[in-house]
């Protein structure tokens, strides 16, 4: 029922109503570093989901009435404990999902703590000024909606999970969290942390399991009042179909096929270095600009500099500080990425970089790959690979660049590299994306609205937008007459 991961003890059972709950069924957590089985996890079903929602519904009656200040205090206490355990959390998550240990230590786990601090503080300043309509005073308030179901992916499980869990708890919702089956371990540690911080029993619940079983049971349950999901379009369609029967409001982040646009007037060194960053986390980043669009007049120069940098990328064990990118998350995902690449090659495309597994390392390590000039509408341009695979296309005018950038069913993000501020503003206003970076990448603040257009998702989260989602926003109108003088 407990296992040790990199010297850290992790409970493999669910967390429901303030206690550990086991299941008869089990599933294995397999480390992508070496494909070793590292944990035998309790596999939840509709039974455990029912228990968790019952616990969350019962706890909601008290939690929704808990003062803002007390909810904020508890979230800050959770952040305190996370900060005291960054090394343990980083070690466990690296072993579990194969992302870089150095990134977990320096960036990801500190952001996990920040998720709780930010939404605790935002809760205390959440307000809308009263306003008058023909002498009638209007007051806006945010009422907790109820039980929030949260389902997140494996590429940054604790960070992406707490990005939704923290605002839901701050808003006064209770939570049932289904962590990713390919990287479930830090969710169990978060349950321990929440309990140590003093979060009341039933306010936060974790049910592990396979998506088609535990996730499906959670999505269709009539007891949930909000559902936040991050993952694939195909899974989102299934969730929307069953949650829609209960008219449950949804927040979806579904990945992307983002353009990375390089104009001739850019800082070329900055553009190349930023483009190399699109291989981060072995390409398993929804925001990555995987379609490099480069102005023809600098295309050869850009490509030469890019290939020089890309061939120097150090791939290997993510626990090594010298490693730049690690493995793919699992054998099925590794084969999916390779399938995209091999079909592109079979269609006549020749990779100028990579194009195959890293035979030197074996296992789940895939070489950073770059294709030149895939034909319009080809699979490698159209579909999200979610691996270290980029494509490069040329353009001759700003108008052509916009057309290429918007030639996708996705619309999560875009990157623009240019020295012309007016061009940047023009391009930003025309590109279809929820987030646009100009001469930068991955600059994200929790005050920002985050979400995508088209197949990249539904809704926005961050700052007040998160509270708008997890709450029922109410407007109360007070007449100027009819009140007792002592009332």
- Is residue 236 within 8 Å of residue 252, measured between CB atoms? yes
HSE-CB of 179 using CA atoms within 13 angstroms: 34
Hey, which residues does 147 pair with through a beta bridge?
174
391 part of the active site? no
Q: Strand, coil or helix: what is 142?
A: strand
Instruction: Find the catalytic residue in 48, 181, 213, 253.
Output: 253
Find the Cα–Cα–Cα–Cα dihedral 354, 356, 358, 360, rounded to 10°.
-100
Given a contact cutoff of 8 angstroms between Cβ atoms, the answer to whether 217 and 49 are in contact is: yes
Q: How far apart are CA 295 and CA 400, in angstroms?
A: 10
Answer yes or no: 471 catalytic.
no
Give the helix, strand, coil percentages of the chain, each rounded to 5.
40, 25, 35
With contact defined as beta carbons under 8 Å apart, do 45 and 27 qualify?
A: no
For 368, counting Cβ atoms within 10 Å of its Cβ (0-12 exposed, 13-18 middle, 19+ buried), the class is buried
Q: Tell me how far apart the alpha carbons of residues 143 and 472 are, in angstroms, rounded to a whole number.
A: 5
**What residues have CB less than 8 Å from 272, skipping those under 6 apart?**
302, 305, 306, 309
Measured distance CA(440)–CA(278) in Å, rounded: 12
Please answer whether residues 305 and 272 qualify as being in contact, where contact means their C-beta atoms are separated by less than 8 angstroms: yes
Using an 8 Å Cβ cutoff, are 175 and 165 in contact?
yes
What are the two backbone dihedrals, phi and then psi, of residue 83, each rounded to the nearest 5 degrees? Answer: -65, -30
Calpha distance 185→105 (Å, rounded) = 16
Whether residue 328 contacts residue 364, with contact meaning beta carbons closer than 8 Å, is answered with: yes
The catalytic position among 286, 295, 384, 391 is: 286
**Catalytic residue positions, numbered:** 253, 286
């Amino acid at each position: 029922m407990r296992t040790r991961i990199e010297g850290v003890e992790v409970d493999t059972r669910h967390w429901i109503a303030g206690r550990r709950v086991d299941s008869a069924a089990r599933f294995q957590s397999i480390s992508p570093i070496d494909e070793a089985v590292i944990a035998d996890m309790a596999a939840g079903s509709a039974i455990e989901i029912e228990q968790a929602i019952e616990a969350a519904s019962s706890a909601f009656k008290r939690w929704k009435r808990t003062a803002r200040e007390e909810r904020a205090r508890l979230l800050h206490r959770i952040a305190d404990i996370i900060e005291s355990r960054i090394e343990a959390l980083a070690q466990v998550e690296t072993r579990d999902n194969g992302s870089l240990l150095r990134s977990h230590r320096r960036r990801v786990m500190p952001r996990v703590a920040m998720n709780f601090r930010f939404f605790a503080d935002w809760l205390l300043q959440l307000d809308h000024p009263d306003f008058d309509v023909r002498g009638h005073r209007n007051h806006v308030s945010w009422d907790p909606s109820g039980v929030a179901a949260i389902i997140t992916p494996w590429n940054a499980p604790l960070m992406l999970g707490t990005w939704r869990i923290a605002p839901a708890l701050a808003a006064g919702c209770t939570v049932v969290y289904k962590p990713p089956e390919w990287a479930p371990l830090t969710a169990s540690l978060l349950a321990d942390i929440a309990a140590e911080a003093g979060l009341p029993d039933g306010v936060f619940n974790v049910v592990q399991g396979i998506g088609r079983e535990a996730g499906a049971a959670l999505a269709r349950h009539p007891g949930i009042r909000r559902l936040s999901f991050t993952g694939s379009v195909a899974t989102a369609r299934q969730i929307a179909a069953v949650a829609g029967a209960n008219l449950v409001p949804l927040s979806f982040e579904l990945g992307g096929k983002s353009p990375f646009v390089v104009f001739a007037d850019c800082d070329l060194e900055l553009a190349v270095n930023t483009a190399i960053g699109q291989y981060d986390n072995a390409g398993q980043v929804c925001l990555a600009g995987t379609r490099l669009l480069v102005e023809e007049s600098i295309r050869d120069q850009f490509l030469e500099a890019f290939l020089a940098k890309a061939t120097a990328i150090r791939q290997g064990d993510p626990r090594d500080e010298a490693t730049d990118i690690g493995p793919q998350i699992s054998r099925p995902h590794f084969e999916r990425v390779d399938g995209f690449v091999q079909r592109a090659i079979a269609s006549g495309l020749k990779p100028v970089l990579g194009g195959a597994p890293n035979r030197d390392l074996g296992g789940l390590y895939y070489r950073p790959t770059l294709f030149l000039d895939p034909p319009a509408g080809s699979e490698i341009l159209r579909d999200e690979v979610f691996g270290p695979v980029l494509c490069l296309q040329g353009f001759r005018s700003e108008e052509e660049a916009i057309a290429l950038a918007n030639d996708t069913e996705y619309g999560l993000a875009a990157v623009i590299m240019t020295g012309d501020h007016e061009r940047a503003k023009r391009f930003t206003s025309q590109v279809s994306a929820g987030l646009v970076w100009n001469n930068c990448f991955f600059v994200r603040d929790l005050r920002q609205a985050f979400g995508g257009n088209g197949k990249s998702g539904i809704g926005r989260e961050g700052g007040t937008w998160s509270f708008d989602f997890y709450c029922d926003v109410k407007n109360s109108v007070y007449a100027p007459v009819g009140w007792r003088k002592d009332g």
